[in-house]
Structure 1
Amino acid sequence: MALKIEHLVGGYSQIPVLKDISFEVNPGELVGLIGLNGAGKSTTINHVIGLMTPQKGKITIDGKTVYQDSNAYKKQIAYIPELPVLYPELTLREHIDLTIMAYQLDKKQAWQRANELLETFRLANKLEWFPNNFSKGMKQKVMIVCAFLTDANLYIIDEPFLGLDPLATDDLLKLIDDRKSHGAAVLMSTHVLDTAEKYCDRFVLLHDGKIQNQGDLAELRAQNPTLGQSLTEIYLGLARAGEQHA
């Protein structure tokens, strides 16, 4: 299994944001991490990528923890944050070279892959541009190109559709499908529930730092027979119930 989270308790202070959550993402699987703002999605992701230390519990990627070998653990991950993080003094070409160096990729093969991605996302003529020349959507595409340049075992994608035009959204979803078919695991946080329902294999529904439900759509329907058939209906019903009991 690519990602395994066991009894994770964590947050930014002694009062935990995450309250004993456990779930897995298997090779060849896209899991949607769904929740209201403040539910704990970004906190979960920050723990997985090694930016935060769990108060309790364990996170492994292919059986390895970040404490056993930090570099080996992090090289298994490709991360696309909600807000693009680019170096203002580096061109697009230099961002790609930096990614190749950081992941120790074969330069010739990696640039062949990069050129395909640049064509797909309509950035091929922007290699000498600096980040301040890019729109938000273009910055997001740079992050996507750099992430999918790698052969990561686990792709973590946080709210990827914000700022992307419909064509880029479709291209990203095709990329995810391609990497899944080659055995990669994908964890995607998103509020776009219609797209999540169509493309995700399973869902983890977070509310107030706890997992309300998890499973594929059929399992969510079986667990919540009165809430409706779509992911949106089920999620909204659970979210409203959670707010009433908060």
Structure 2
Amino acid sequence: MILDVNNLTGGYSREPVLKDLSFQINEGEIVGLIGLNGAGKSTTIKHIIGLLQPMSGSIHLNDVSLIEDNQTYRQSFSYLPELPVLYEELTLREHLELTALSYGLDKETAIRRIQPLLEQFRLWERLDWLPIHFSKGMKQKVMIVCAFLVDTSLYIVDEPFLGLDPLATNDFIHLLEERKQEGSAILMSTHELQRAEQYCDRYLFLQSGRLIAQGSLSELQTHFGLPQASLEEIYLTLAKESLQ
């Protein structure tokens, strides 16, 4: 087991957003975090990456909590946010150097990992560009390269397909599959349900801050009594029920 979230209750104020949330993610699997806006997906991610502290419950990454060993915990995951976050005064090269430094990568290792990623996402000739010169899609590619420069146990990706053209989307999916085959776990929050159905091994369904179901597509079909339903059909059925 790589990630263990146990009885997590938390949020931004005294009134919890997440309520007694428990799930695990194992090595070599892609897990989709699914739910309506406001279901608690972003809050769950913020707790895992340490931006929010649990009101109760615990989160362990490779059997280590953030409180027990801050550095080991933080270096065990890599986070790809929904919207690109870049330093306007730093070039692409400097962003990559800063990422490598944050994870304690030596220069030789960093260069070996950087080059194929830059070539894959067609950024090799833009190392000295500043963010102002990048389109929205190119900024997203920069974030992908920074996030996957490091070799970590867990990759957390939040709506990763926004702004990507079809070729870049295909490259990104191939990258996810590579890391999965290498044994990493991937937690992916997305509304791109058709893609999630193609590439995720399991799903976590959140509703009003609670985990209402988890499992493979076939297990979800059985759980909700919707045989042969697609992931999107299950999602829409739950969404309509929650609004009634």
Decide whether the 8 Å contact of 1:154 with 1:186 is kept in 2: yes
Q: 2: CA distance between counterparts of 1:146 and 1:110?
A: 11
- 1:176 alignment counterpart: 176
Amino acid corresponding to residue 4 of structure 1 in structure 2: D
SS, match of residue 22 in structure 1? strand
Residues 151-204 of structure 1 show CA distances to partners (whole Å, capped at 9, x for unaligned) of 110000000001011111111111111111111000000000000000000000
Q: 2: CA distance between counterparts of 1:7 and 1:227?
A: 30
Q: Which moved more, 1:222-231 or 1:75-84?
A: 222-231
Decide whether the 8 Å contact of 1:227 with 1:237 is kept in 2: no
Q: 1: CA distance between counterparts of 2:136 and 2:120?
A: 17
Alignment map for 1:7-22 (pairs within 5 Å): 7-22=7-22
- 2:242 alignment counterpart: 242
Gaps of 5+ in 1: none
Using the TM superposition, give the Cα deviation of residue 126 of structure 1 relative to its aligned residue in structure 2, in angstroms.
Answer: 0.6
- 2:185 alignment counterpart: 185
Q: Which moved more, 1:109-118 or 1:84-93?
A: 109-118
Amino acid corresponding to residue 35 of structure 2 in structure 1: G
Using the TM superposition, give the Cα deviation of residue 109 of structure 1 relative to its aligned residue in structure 2, in angstroms.
Answer: 2.2
- 2:111 alignment counterpart: 111
Using the TM superposition, give the Cα deviation of residue 106 of structure 1 relative to its aligned residue in structure 2, in angstroms.
Answer: 2.6
- 2:65 alignment counterpart: 65
Using the TM superposition, give the Cα deviation of residue 228 of structure 1 relative to its aligned residue in structure 2, in angstroms.
Answer: 5.0
SS, match of residue 194 in structure 2? helix
SS, match of residue 183 in structure 2? coil
- 1:50 alignment counterpart: 50
- 1:91 alignment counterpart: 91
Q: 1: CA distance between counterparts of 2:227 and 2:218?
A: 13
Q: Which moved more, 1:42-51 or 1:133-142?
A: 133-142
Using the TM superposition, give the Cα deviation of residue 24 of structure 1 relative to its aligned residue in structure 2, in angstroms.
Answer: 1.0
- 1:230 alignment counterpart: 230
- 2:78 alignment counterpart: 78
Q: 1: CA distance between counterparts of 2:156 and 2:116?
A: 21
SS, match of residue 104 in structure 1? coil
- 1:33 alignment counterpart: 33
Amino acid corresponding to residue 127 of structure 2 in structure 1: L
Compute the RMSD of aligned alpha carbons.
1.0
Instruction: Report the identity percentage.
Output: 57
Q: Which moved more, 1:64-73 or 1:109-118?
A: 109-118
- 1:122 alignment counterpart: 122
Q: 2: CA distance between counterparts of 1:26 and 1:226?
A: 27
Alignment map for 1:199-210 (pairs within 5 Å): 199-210=199-210
Decide whether the 8 Å contact of 1:75 with 1:152 is kept in 2: yes
Q: TM-score, normalised by structure 2?
A: 0.98
Q: 1:12 to 1:227 in 2, by over 3 A?
A: farther
Amino acid corresponding to residue 173 of structure 1 in structure 2: I
Structure 2 residue 142 is the aligned partner of structure 1 residue 149: no
Amino acid corresponding to residue 80 of structure 2 in structure 1: I
Using the TM superposition, give the Cα deviation of residue 212 of structure 1 relative to its aligned residue in structure 2, in angstroms.
Answer: 1.8
Amino acid corresponding to residue 27 of structure 1 in structure 2: E
Using the TM superposition, give the Cα deviation of residue 82 of structure 1 relative to its aligned residue in structure 2, in angstroms.
Answer: 0.3
Q: 2: CA distance between counterparts of 1:198 and 1:183?
A: 19
Using the TM superposition, give the Cα deviation of residue 243 of structure 1 relative to its aligned residue in structure 2, in angstroms.
Answer: 2.1
Residues 15-73 of structure 1 show CA distances to partners (whole Å, capped at 9, x for unaligned) of 01111111111100100001111111010000000010000110000100000011110
Number of aligned residues? 244
Q: 1: CA distance between counterparts of 2:201 and 2:40?
A: 21
Using the TM superposition, give the Cα deviation of residue 227 of structure 1 relative to its aligned residue in structure 2, in angstroms.
Answer: 7.0
Amino acid corresponding to residue 209 of structure 2 in structure 1: G
Decide whether the 8 Å contact of 1:157 with 1:186 is kept in 2: yes
Amino acid corresponding to residue 168 of structure 1 in structure 2: A
Structure 2 residue 161 is the aligned partner of structure 1 residue 161: yes
